[in-house]
Chain A
Amino acid sequence: MTDPNAIENNPFKELGEIPEKKYHDGYKISSTYIPMRDGIKIATTICLPKVLSSSEKLPTLLVQTRYWRAMELRIPFRWILDDVISSTPNPEIYTSRGYAIVYTDVRGTGASEGTRPHPWYVDEIKDGADVVDWIIFQPWSDGNVVSNGISYSGICSEFFALNNHPAVKAIMPGHAMWDAYIDIAFPGGCYDWKFMEIWSFFGKNLDKNNPKVFKQLLPVVWLIAKGVKPVDSDKDLKILIGALNQHKSNKYVYEMTHDKNYRDEPLPDGTKIIDTCIYPHKEELEKTRVPILAWCSWLDSGYVDVIIHRFANLDNPQIAILGDWNHGASYPANQFFPERVKVTPSPKERINAWINFFDKCVKGNGIQGKTLYYYTMVEEKWKKTILWPPKGQKMQRWYLSENNSLSRTLPRIKSSADSYEINFRATTGRNNRWWTLLGLPIIYENRKKIDEKLLTYTSAPLEEDLEITGHTIVNLYISSTHEDNAVYVYLEDIDEKGNVTYITDGQLRVIHRKISTDKPPYKIFIPYHTYNEEDAQPLTPGEIAELKFGLHATSVVIRKNHRIRIAIAGHDKDTFYRYPSKGRPTIKIERNEKFASYIDLPIIKKEI
């Protein structure tokens, strides 16, 4: 949760005050099937202001989801709530400000017909244009469409812009992806198998209209919903039943990826992971000139880096926001203030900012240039920049040194190293930055005990506050008893009492360690690993190799008298696949004059 008193540079304040309500009588809901170019019917729910004269025309907010556009509620909820109650935001907030809302179940999901070989496949993206064609033909439409969403829907909104439909005036991807391989499926080449497995299981059951799976994952939704909402006209549920039958041919990402290792490895149906990524479409997206408001959190999976990559790579007019909440902003996630229970900005404050952004793009002059707003934890301040890295960023080197210390001084010793037998019971638990992709809160708790299972290096107490903003780079000289393993590095803060607080982390599967001299497919701020098969380099047991990789970006102040720690692990058992799948490697990290392992912290030098 950001500090509610952090007003300066606060994007939720700078984007404007609460837009005035234009419609005061609530909203009405209807549903229909929209036929696509190939005859597939897309289930659609429409919310309009309840009282709307035939002469009034509205812009439309389009939300495309794979998590059911509307729910058939259980009683008593069906008696008092709407089918779209689980939608964020509550439709009334938009309809009262003069927007129509159109929710669709993307092809192959919910009550829509069709099948899907993988998420965001080409037909699913093209459907967005067909839906817009339908929207602008409606008597209530003013011909303008904007799109937003969180997570899957957020990614949909960005893909949707690729249609370059002239009616589309703005998009707002929240907590969205850019590069499926490193942002979510294989961070650092390590398979995020728990998320991939659960997400696939969840999706499969949603597509079967089986709400039982909600019980453990989303108990609130399970309690209120009994299934996807059929379309009004489908009285005998014939179309829904037919659609559910078609969904049986859907493919799910876990089955496609769980035995894969490389970015360029073909998936069973001949597609590649790149087919689900936004970055290869950079130029097409830029050509649209569509304004983007993108938002995420420092602590959300690899999605934090998406904000930075999109900001640094896309020329579209852009507002980017990085705060300190969980995936989707339903829980605060600032690990330095675990007592906080509510997210600031509140959903209402966020939505006001969203509406102001859309209003500017639909009715005003749009937005100009690019601005990235970011929240610096512990300092509890919003900042903004038009450049990334932000002005004043310098890398400060800290060496892994004797007695598990972290030092600014290059080791002078000729030969020294630390051995660590990988503890395969090490875990960051099930409330970490990866599990939050399921909507869960992020809780790392005090890592003092956990660090006992890891290899740690700790600095002396700092003599002054130190701001770290950006990507920390880790450079380790490592040897192993095995050809393959993973390395996880945690950046932590230790206070005067010895409490250890998680800041960020990074990971690399050692076979992917080759630093490519090729130009990366998009601008990055960490060493470039291709993760391609031809670049794989198994370790030679006993031979020293260099591992250089980045941690996920962060912004934090480490206070005077606190200490910096890096903790090194070889596994995170509740999240990632085990490397190697068998055996127990012992790794040795060199820390001597010839092989000086270090981290480079991206510190912000205050201008005097």
Chain B
Amino acid sequence: MEEIIPSLRNMLKQAIEHKVDENNLKITLIVKKEVKGPLAEPDEVITMFQMLGGLKEEIPMEINIDNKAQKINIKFQTKEDLNKIRAIINTIWDNTVDLLEEFIAGDLTRLKDIPDF
């Protein structure tokens, strides 16, 4: 696992693209690497934001998964909500690798901030 970490940041950024459609209050995550099996379940997407992105509050969002196109469409009710998730997505991959690096180094300071899953 440790061998992968140095390249993981780039792997995540290269494999996952996101598009924001402010007019339609929509964010689309596009997974560019071919995924074996289903892309995700909607609750997994929320868990990902909570575990790796630091999402603390409940944000109403409608999540549709297009397994064939490997796209996750997230629809929001307000622009404020969209911006909150946009901010999370902008930093989530760096945060993910930072967390992994900290945990590998034995620094578990941020572990308590992450809910149990």
Contact = CB atoms under 8 A, between A and B. Distances in A.
Contacts of A347: 2-3
Interface string A215-254: 1100111011010000000000000000000000000000
B11 interface: yes
A220 B45 CA distance: 19
B15 A79 contact: yes
Nearest to A29: B36
A378 interface: no
A24 interface: no
Contact of B11 (A75, A80, A223, A330): A80
Contacts of B11: 80
Nearest to A78: B35
Contacts of B48: 74-76
A212 B4 contact: no
Interface string B18-54: 0000000000000101010001100011011001100
Contacts of B88: none
Interface in B74-117: 93, 96, 99-100, 103-104, 106, 108, 111, 114, 116-117
Residue of A78, A79, A219 with most chain B CB atoms under a 10 A cut-off: A79
B59 interface: no
A223 B3 contact: no
B9 to A, nearest CB: 11
A306 B114 CA distance: 40
B100 A220 contact: yes
A81 interface: yes
A90 interface: yes
B55 interface: no
> Interface residues of A: mostly helix, strand, loop or mixed?
helix
Interface in A240-272: none
B61 interface: no
Contacts of A312: none
Contact of B2 (A79, A223, A330): A330
A221 B103 CA distance: 10
Given A80-B15, A80-B33, A212-B117, A74 B51 contact: yes
A441 interface: yes
A386 interface: no
A75 B8 CA distance: 13
A81 B12 CA distance: 10
A221 B114 CA distance: 14
A85 interface: yes
B90 to A, nearest CB: 14
Interface in A192-232: 211-212, 215-216, 219-221, 223-224, 226
Nearest to B92: A76
Interface in A71-105: 74-76, 78-81, 85-86, 88, 90
Nearest to B44: A75
A216 B8 CA distance: 23
B100 to A, nearest CB: 6
A85 B1 contact: yes
A443 B40 CA distance: 41
Contacts of B108: 219
Given A79-B35, A81-B4, A212-B116, A219 B16 contact: no
Contact of B1 (A79, A80, A86, A441): A86
Contact of A74 (B4, B16, B39, B47): B47
Contact of B12 (A80, A215, A220): A80
A349 B31 CA distance: 34
Contacts of A75: 39-40, 44-45, 48
Contacts of B111: 215-216, 219
A215 B116 contact: yes
B47 A220 contact: no
Contacts of A220: 1, 100, 103-104
Contacts of A81: 4
B51 A223 contact: yes
Nearest to A431: B106
A79 B44 contact: no
A367 B95 CA distance: 48
Nearest to B70: A79
Interface in A533-591: none
Nearest to A220: B103
A221 B104 CA distance: 10
Nearest to B106: A441
A80 B13 CA distance: 10
A442 to B, nearest CB: 12
B27 to A, nearest CB: 15
Contacts of A88: 1
A88 B108 CA distance: 23
A347 B1 CA distance: 11
Contacts of A348: 3
A85 B35 contact: no
A76 B100 CA distance: 13
A420 to B, nearest CB: 34
B30 to A, nearest CB: 11
A330 B3 CA distance: 11
Nearest to B15: A80
Nearest to A222: B117
Interface in A41-76: 74-76
A203 to B, nearest CB: 19
Contacts of B15: 76, 79-80
Nearest to B16: A76
Contact of B33 (A79, A86, A215): A79
Contacts of A330: 2
B43 to A, nearest CB: 11
Nearest to A218: B103
A132 B33 CA distance: 35
Contacts of B31: 76, 79
B49 to A, nearest CB: 10
Contacts of A76: 12, 15-16, 31, 48, 52, 93, 96
A80 B48 CA distance: 14
Q: Which 4 A-B pairs have the closest CB atoms?
A: A219-B103, A220-B103, A80-B15, A75-B40
Given A86-B1, A211-B117, 9 more contacts: A75-B39, A76-B93, A85-B4, A212-B117, A219-B108, A221-B1, A223-B96, A223-B100, A441-B106
21 contacts: A74-B44, A74-B47, A74-B48, A75-B39, A76-B12, A76-B96, A78-B35, A79-B16, A79-B39, A80-B8, A80-B11, A85-B4, A90-B3, A90-B4, A211-B117, A215-B116, A219-B103, A220-B100, A223-B99, A224-B100, A441-B106
